[in-house]
Amino acid sequence: MKISREFKIGLLFLVGLVLLFWGYNFLKGKNVFSQERVIYGVYPEIGGLKVANKVSINGLEVGMVKDIYFHEGRQGDIIVVLSINTDFPIASNSIARIFSADLMGTKEVGILLGNGSNLINSGDTLATEVEANLKDEVNRQMQPLKNKAEQLMGTIDSVFTVFQTIFNDKAADNLINSFSSIEKTFYNLQHTTAKVDTLVDAEATRLALILDNIESITGNLDKNEQNITSILTNFSAISDTLAKANVAATFVNVNKTASELAAILEQINKGQGTVGAMLMNDTLYLNLEKSAAALNALLEDVKKRPKRYVKFSLF
């Protein structure tokens, strides 16, 4: 069978179209001969992600970004269509994370595998997150330093304000006077120390004698420790005896006696009884006074005329 020239031209044209289609998709990162799963992710912003950027799992390329467009029902949200060219099982709780693949800021979608038992199918939507860009990361890292620097500047400003307040003319004069007073104080202290040294040197002999006496006293105390112990034991025995004695009853008897004495004195003051009558009635006093006067007159008469009362006879 002879193949016509027209058939050959048509076949070559068809093969060329197929190769052109395959090459175009290959340059875009698509593999038209592999099984494709299409999944979706909704992002608030994508940080410069573009169509045909890589999709990877643990660093291994498994697909590419197929399409990017705005969500119709949510203002500003962006839908990213991911084409997965592998049959590797991906859990439904996995996360499609946009991150920078290199220092130039090239974006890539990395799928962080979950641990769920349900697997995604074509048309499912994954949870998403976006890695902070270099600027945001630098700002995040520098923010604590910035806050500390602001606090430090505020502290330095306060210190300068305090120094400015302190080192005015009046404060400077006061400070100079204070230093002068401190200098005088140190001078007086030095002078006093010198006097103390001189006094110690002069009284060194007396101090030595005092220390010897103290040592002697402590030695005597040590030698008489047994006697001191005996004395303390005797005091303890006396205190025990006093504690056992019926001191309360003794004080009761003393109190009773004092009460009775007070009653007797009260009766005497009222003139009751013999003693009270003697103290309160002056008749006895007058009689005693008269008797004393008569006895005195008798004695005087005996002195003047003793023969009247004493007679001597020899025979």
- Mean pLDDT, consecutive 10-residue stretches, the chain (315 aa), reads 72 82 64 73 90 91 91 86 90 92 85 91 91 64 76 78 66 74 84 80 79 84 81 79 68 82 78 67 73 83 73 51
- Are 65 and 82 a contacting pair, CB within 8 Å? yes
3 state SS of 72: coil
- Taking alpha carbons only, the member of 68, 66, 63 closest to residue 35 is 63
Q: Do β-strands 95-100 and 125-130 pair in parallel, antiparallel, or remain unpaired?
A: parallel
What is the rounded distance in angstroms from the CA atom of residue 137 to the CA atom of residue 100?
12
Nearest Cα to Cα of residue 57 among 36, 88, 80, 31 = 88
What span, in angstroms and rounded, lies between the C-alpha atoms of 247 and 238? Answer: 14
120 touches 92 (CB < 8 A): yes
pLDDT given at position 263: 80
77 and 43 Cβ atoms separated by less than 8 Å = yes
Residue pair 91/72 in contact (Cβ under 8 Å)? The answer is no
Contacts of 61 (CB under 8 A, 6+ apart): 54, 55
3-class SS at 83?
strand
CA 144, CA 248: separation in Å to the nearest integer?
83
Which pLDDT value is given to residue 78? 92
| Residue 58: per-residue pLDDT | 92
User: Residue 16 has which token pair?
Assistant: 């060329």
